[in-house]
């Protein structure tokens, strides 16, 4: 019945796949990599799978002018309707070998048609929506370095199959100096047979995805740019809702809902609504976060309404071309991979635009657990340098929070940033503080602070340190950056340069580390770190600059040295003794 419905469907009778999906009700756990994984050995032996015999008539049928593109022919085969694919036991060894070529299941991908069918992932409210008759055309830009043939072609075919022909100016393939043979002549030949203009630019020198996208933007003919990663699948109706938002307001930048394509089974996960928004942490690394209540209230329960997001994931979005240029596109000195998505997101919001996820647009992306890319042998940390530039230009004083967390980044030369600073001035962009308060209130950065530095005990010369929990009542850190911690002891250690002694003094008189605050409760004899609550009380510390005493507000006790044999400071009646004298040695701003 499902296929019958697909054959017969018309836009008004469309419903989504009601068939039980193994992924139903499971929230995909979307996690970006925190670090670049070491690249695997690239397999030069990968070959181009026999390309699907292309059904030209099928393309012609769906591309006569404003043809009805919803008519999907009945298809059988592995992975159709976005289903998971498995292989025989006997093939598993080979499968694992092939997995390492691109860090996704190449064997399975090669068996799935370039034209595989997908379900309809749009929430109900989308079907009644009317889009402008004058939508702008778009150039779809795909950048890649050594992408697998089947995955790249499925991206291209899904764009062709599911974009109204009159809205698709062209597909631009920007080959970031790939070395695989099939991405040369064989690809050049193949794309001439496609029913939509597809152009390829073979970059001679590797620039990374950011440089490659800039090249694509430069070559694009259409008034709207649509960027996709090279391992995506566009689902039915993906394009019109994106273009419609831009047609209504050229400074709205839109992202589709990014459905997960499983890196092992190539199942297209059946997510319908916007379940998360984008943000970033103190490493300036993108991550997914819950939609704040304020945004839910703004939308008012309509699952088909676009959801505003502080940042984009980076790979999948549409933007008015002239607006992209006006915003200074990407920082041209960014290299390789990373940071460009945050830079663009900050510019959009701080300089008067809007960034949103559009629930009526669904595009799948193969989420990988490892990064397969090697970049040039640079002597510096490439992503760190991108982020350093970003921090210097866009984060204002909050850059110190990034440096407090990644002190090594301070040693990287960011190069000349004067043009980017000038750009920000010319665009009269608002402050990062404004962005936090108005666009990203849930951010871990969202507080005002006085400085970042060490708390040094005058009598002993030792520093308060939260790196080593010794089990004095508190718990050890669970995560590298204390993100999931509920409480933790602090200790006194010889002072050093490391970040585990850097506390942030906030305007609420807290001593903070990311979202953990120095806290004290009279049940205990020692201070500890506890999730910041912003209510003052047990997390408020008055530092008397004359006597150098550190008064705990609610208990009126003072922080004192540990008892002999311990490293954990104590809380005592204030006495003015040297053991109760503390210096807050500010490192940033330096």
- Binding to ligand LR7 (CB under 6 A) within 13-52 occurs at 32
The count of chain residues that interact with ligand LR7, using the rule CB under 6 A, is 26
81, 108, 159, 209: which one binds ligand LR7 (CB under 6 A): 209
What residues have CB less than 8 Å from 469, skipping those under 6 apart? 475, 476, 477, 488, 489, 491
Q: Is 340 in the site for ligand LR7 (CB under 6 A)?
A: yes
Binding partner selected for residue 209 from ligand LR7, Mn ion, none, CB under the kind-specific 5 to 8 Å limit: ligand LR7
Beta strands in 283-334 (DSSP E): 286-290, 307-308, 317-320
Beta-bridge partners for 224 = 138, 320
Residues between 224 and 283 that touch Mn ion (CB under 5 A): 229
Supply the minimum distance, in Å, between the C-beta of residue 487 and ligand LR7. 31
Query: What is the number of alpha carbons within 13 Å of residue 27 lying toward its C-beta?
Result: 10
CA distance 420 to 393: 7
CA dist., res. 72 & res. 79, Å (int): 15
User: What is the Cα Rg of the chain in Å?
Assistant: 27
323 binds, among ligand LR7, Mn ion, none (CB under 5 to 8 A by kind): none
Residue 502 DSSP one-character state: -
Of 214 and 550, the one with the shorter C-beta distance to ligand LR7 is 214
Bridge partners for 582 per DSSP: 457
Q: Min. distance of Cβ 192 from ligand LR7 in angstroms?
A: 22
Find the shortest distance in angstroms from Cβ 93 to ligand LR7: 26
Site string for ligand LR7, 224-243 (x = CB under 6 A): -----xx-------------
Choose the contact partner of 208 out of ligand LR7, Mn ion, none; CB within 5 to 8 A by kind: ligand LR7
Smallest gap from residue 386 Cβ to ligand LR7 (A):
8
- Quick check: helix, strand or coil at residue 373? coil
Q: What burial letters (b/e) apply to 304-342, b meaning 16+ CB within 10 Å? A: bbbbbbbbbbbbbbbbbbebbebbbbbbebbbbbbbbbb
Closest residue to ligand LR7: CB criterion: 314
What is the per-residue binding string for ligand LR7 in 237-276, x denoting contact by CB under 6 A?
A: ---------------------x------------------
373 binds ligand LR7 (CB under 6 A): yes
Question: Of Mn ion, ligand LR7, none, which one sits near residue 230, judging by CB under 5 to 8 A according to partner kind?
Answer: ligand LR7
Contact pick of 126, 274, 316, 327 for ligand LR7 (by CB under 6 A): 316
Return the half-sphere exposure (C-beta side, CA atoms, 13 A cut-off) of residue 42: 15
Distance CA 284, CA 340 (A): 10
Q: Count H helices, E strands: the chain?
A: 15, 24
Verify binding: residue 381, ligand LR7, rule CB under 6 A.
Answer: no
CA-CA distance, 366 to 160, in Å (whole number)? 19
Confirm if 241 and 164 have CB atoms less than 8 A apart: no
Of residues 477-496, those binding ligand LR7 (CB under 6 A): none
| Binding positions for ligand LR7, rule: CB under 6 A | 32, 143-145, 147, 176, 208-209, 212, 229-230, 258, 286, 313-316, 336-338, 340-341, 365, 371, 373, 375
């Amino acid at each position: 019945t499902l296929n019958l419905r697909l054959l017969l469907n018309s836009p008004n009778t469309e419903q989504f796949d009601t068939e039980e999906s193994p992924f139903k009700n499971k929230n995909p756990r979307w996690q970006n990599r925190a670090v670049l994984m070491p690249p695997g050995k690239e397999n030069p032996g990968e070959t181009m799978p026999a390309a699907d015999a292309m059904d030209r008539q099928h393309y012609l049928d769906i591309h006569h002018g404003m043809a009805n593109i919803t008519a999907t022919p009945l298809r059988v085969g592995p992975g159709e309707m976005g289903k998971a694919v498995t292989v025989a036991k006997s093939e598993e060894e080979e499968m694992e070998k092939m997995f390492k070529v691109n860090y996704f299941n190449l064997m399975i991908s090669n068996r799935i048609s370039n034209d595989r069918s997908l379900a309809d992932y749009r929430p109900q409210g989308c079907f009644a929506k009317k889009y402008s008759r004058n939508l702008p055309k778009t150039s779809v830009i795909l950048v890649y370095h050594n992408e697998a043939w089947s995955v790249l072609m499925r991206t291209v075919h899904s764009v062709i199959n599911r974009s109204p022909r009159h809205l698709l100016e062209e597909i631009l393939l920007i080959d970031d100096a790939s070395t695989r043979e099939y991405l040369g002549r064989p690809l050049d030949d193949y794309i001439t047979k496609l029913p939509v203009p597809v152009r390829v630019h073979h970059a001679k020198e590797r620039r990374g995805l950011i440089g490659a996208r800039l090249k694509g933007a430069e070559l694009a003919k259409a008034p709207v740019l649509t960027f996709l990663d090279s391992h995506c699948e566009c689902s039915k109706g993906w394009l019109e809702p994106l273009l419609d938002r831009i047609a209504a307001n050229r400074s709205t930048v839109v992202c589709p809902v990014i459905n997960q394509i499983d890196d092992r089974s190539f199942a297209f996960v059946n997510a319908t609504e916007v379940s998360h928004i984008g943000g970033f942490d103190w490493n300036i690394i993108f991550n997914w976060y819950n939609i704040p209540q304020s945004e839910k209230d703004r939308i008012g329960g309509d699952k088909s309404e676009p959801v505003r997001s502080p940042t984009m994931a980076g790979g999948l979005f549409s933007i008015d071309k002239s607006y992209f240029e006006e915003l200074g596109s990407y920082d041209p000195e960014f290299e390789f991979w990373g940071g460009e998505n945050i830079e663009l997101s900050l510019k959009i919001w701080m300089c008067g635009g809007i960034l949103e996820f559009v629930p009526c647009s669904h595009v799948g992306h193969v989420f990988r657990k490892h990064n397969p890319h090697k970049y040039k042998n640079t002597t510096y940390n490439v992503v760190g340098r991108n982020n350093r530039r970003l921090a210097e230009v866009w984060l204002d004083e909050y850059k110190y929070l990034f440096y407090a967390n990644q002190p090594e980044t301070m040693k990287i030369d960011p190069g000349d940033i004067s043009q980017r600073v000038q750009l920000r001035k010319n665009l009269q962009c608002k402050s990062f503080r404004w962005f936090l308060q108005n666009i990203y209130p849930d951010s871990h950065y969202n507080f005002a602070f006085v400085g970042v530095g060490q708390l040094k005990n005058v009598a002993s010369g030792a520093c308060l340190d939260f790196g080593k929990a010794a089990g004095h009542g508190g718990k050890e850190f669970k995560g590298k950056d204390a993100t999931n911690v509920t409480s933790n002891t602090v200790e006194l250690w010889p002072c050093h340069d490391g970040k585990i002694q850097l506390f942030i003094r906030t305007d609420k008189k807290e001593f903070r580390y990311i979202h953990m605050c120095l806290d004290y409760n009279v049940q205990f004899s020692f201070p500890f770190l506890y999730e910041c609550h912003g209510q003052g009380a047990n997390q408020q510390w008055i530092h008397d600059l004359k006597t150098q005493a550190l008064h705990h507000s609610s208990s009126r006790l003072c922080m004192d040295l540990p008892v002999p044999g311990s490293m954990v400071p104590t809380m005592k009646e204030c006495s003015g003794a040297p053991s109760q004298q503390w210096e807050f040695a500010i490192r940033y701003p330096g």
